[in-house]
Amino acid sequence: MLTRRNWLLRLSVVLNVAVIFYFGSLLTVRNGNPEIVEEMPLSGRNLASLDISQTADKESFYYQSASGGSINYPELALLASIQPIAGQQQGSSIQTPVQGTTLRDDSHVMRIKPKSLPSVPVDSSDVASDTSMGSAAAESWTQDKKDAGPTQQQTSTTTTASTTSAVNAGSGGVTSLRPLRELVGCSDKSNHRRTAQRGDYWVLYNYVPARRWFKCDESITYTTHADYTFLDNLEPLLDRWRGPISIALYTPGNDFLPTLTAIRYLRQCGSPLVAELVTFHLYFSSRHVPKSIPHSDQEIDATVNCAVPPTWKNVTSSSLYKSQKKLLYPVNVGRNVARESATTHYVLPSDIELYPSPGVIDGFMDMVRRQDPPLRRPKPMVFPLPIFELASKMKLPADKKELVSMLKNGTAITFHKKVCPDCHTVPKFKEWASAKPKSGISVFHTGKRTGYHLHWEPIFIGTHNDPLYDERLSWEGKMDKMTQGYTLCVLDYEFHILDNAFLVHKPGIKTLKKDPARQVLASKTYSLVKRVILPELKVLYGTRKGCAV
């Protein structure tokens, strides 16, 4: 009996000591011991950030400061950007590492210095307050003397300052952070040079790549097509776009070398933005392969004489190899090559003679980050820009206010007003033109390709998820965008027409001219579309009331 009492006494002492140690540890925590986490954050992303930071410590990774370092874990920057809750003690600050975008510049790697990460506001609205890198094409650079092999161009990770979006999580006032790439669901793409067949065509993808490579959530790529006689439009286009351009050039037979010379001239003698922002793809029919194709960087970048006029000067369309061989221009092959090669999630497939209003990239990306109500709708969507023509020798309008003034005095008209007025007039255009101009870009009206706009051929900002163009159609045969428009209609796309954003054609108003030879081709194309392509589309996508080619 005595022995049992002694054991109970000893057990009681041990329990009391354990209780004392337990309360002592709690007091230590509440006195601000930085080694113990008192309460884990509610956000799953922040939990992941803590796990990653601990793992990084264990593996002895080293991070440089935000003044020029690299980032392997963008979640750390997200965690560091959260404002402390009022009354909560702030611990030691976390240095936010930031990596710029890799540039290809001969034998060097160059990095763009991103702007600093702003504080994230906590309020009751859906808000986006990060800094866009979209149009900051030529801002300050720092040079890193490493070898710029093609694999290094793809090593940079998300620039948190340009991809973070703050979205209110509910009535509780809790703000969660989502990177823009997560918001739009994109991943980075390679810009490696490669050669591949595409139907009857050989394509030299990224044959002359831009020095700057863009992440998927960093900007919008203007994708376009041409032959080398249209390359005089590239610099005025760049001057207003100030962002990445992907261009596919048709180069059959003897047109290849003059095209390459024109590219060299633009990169070496023209605006520095050409070499920095424009990626050139070349394509030609397997029946019209050029006699020789340079392959090494040294051959492709051979020096040209800038004192000599560029190859597109004093050349007529009839002197082209394409014209001499009576080849049709495969416009949709070029459109698809340029679009599919863009490394950004958002793309603006357009024509090289259509110049955008300044500030489209920043304004549109800000709108995406804000997640304005039209963008939250569940249906697929694209964002058309109204298009206009200008009288010859007119100065391009700097903004919507100037454009509306030109519409009133007759020096500007809606695109193809004298050729096909139904093809390019956006829904609610009169209201768009009469609305008071405002700053920024937003959705003015949501339209459909039905009714009066049954044959509308919008040019829009979209994504890689949108239907491609039918490559059996040529420029000469017309109707080259109609089948894509039909597919968008059947898939119930919404057309969110942008306010304060527009395209203007190179000055000179088009008039309807009779071309008997082209009319024959147009009749054949119409028959191809009605008898072959449209039945295929109905099988593939189904039908919808009000949709037509």
Q: Can you tell me the mean pLDDT for 413-420? A: 85
- At 50, the pLDDT band (50, 70, 90 cuts) reads very low
Looking at the chain, the whole-number percentage of residues with pLDDT higher than 90 is 59
- At 312, the pLDDT band (50, 70, 90 cuts) reads very high
**Residue 502 falls inside a structural domain:** yes
Report pLDDT for 424.
78
Interhelix angle 482-490/534-541, nearest 10 degrees? 20
Domain of 545, in residue numbers: 377-549
- At 505, the pLDDT band (50, 70, 90 cuts) reads very high
Mean per-residue pLDDT of the chain: 77
pLDDT by residue (tens digit) across 214-268?
Answer: 999 999 999 999 999 999 999 999 999 999 999 999 999 999 999 999 999 999 9
pLDDT higher than threshold 80 for residue 273: yes
pLDDT higher than threshold 90 for residue 164: no
Question: CA 1, CA 341: separation in Å to the nearest integer?
Answer: 88
| Range scoring the smallest mean pLDDT among 19-23, 133-137, 328-332, 436-440 | 133-137
Report pLDDT for 80.
34
Residues contacting 541, CB < 8 A, separation 6+: 487, 490, 491
Dihedral angle of Cα 55, 60, 65, 68, to the nearest 10 degrees? -110
Give me 414's structure tokens.
């809606």
pLDDT higher than threshold 60 for residue 441: yes
HEC letters along 386-422: CEEEECCCCCCCCCHHHHHHHHHHCCEEECCCCCCHH
Split into its structural domains, the chain has a count of: 1
Report pLDDT for 243.
98
**Residue 496 falls inside a structural domain:** yes
pLDDT higher than threshold 90 for residue 486: yes
| Range scoring the smallest mean pLDDT among 8-17, 172-181, 476-485 | 172-181
pLDDT higher than threshold 60 for residue 509: yes
pLDDT higher than threshold 80 for residue 15: no
In 3D space, the residue among 414, 382, 374, 426 whose CA is nearest the CA of residue 509 turns out to be 414
Residues contacting 128, CB < 8 A, separation 6+: 165, 166, 366, 368, 369, 370, 371
pLDDT higher than threshold 60 for residue 320: yes
**Residue 422 falls inside a structural domain:** yes
Report pLDDT for 10.
74
- More confident call, 345 vs 2: 345
Q: What angle do CA 186, 190, 194 make, to 5 degrees?
A: 140
**Residue 474 falls inside a structural domain:** yes
Report pLDDT for 11.
74
**Residue 444 falls inside a structural domain:** yes
In 3D space, the residue among 508, 435, 461 whose CA is nearest the CA of residue 364 turns out to be 461
| Range scoring the smallest mean pLDDT among 55-69, 383-397, 495-509, 517-531 | 55-69
Report pLDDT for 23.
60
Q: Which amino acid is at 360?
A: V
* Whole-prediction pTM: 0.71
Report pLDDT for 108.
28
**Residue 144 falls inside a structural domain:** no
Distances (CA, A) of 505 to 400, 406, 413: 15, 14, 10
**Residue 189 falls inside a structural domain:** no
Question: CA 487, CA 264: separation in Å to the nearest integer?
Answer: 39
**Residue 436 falls inside a structural domain:** yes
In 3D space, the residue among 22, 42, 345 whose CA is nearest the CA of residue 174 turns out to be 42
- At 43, the pLDDT band (50, 70, 90 cuts) reads very low
- At 4, the pLDDT band (50, 70, 90 cuts) reads low
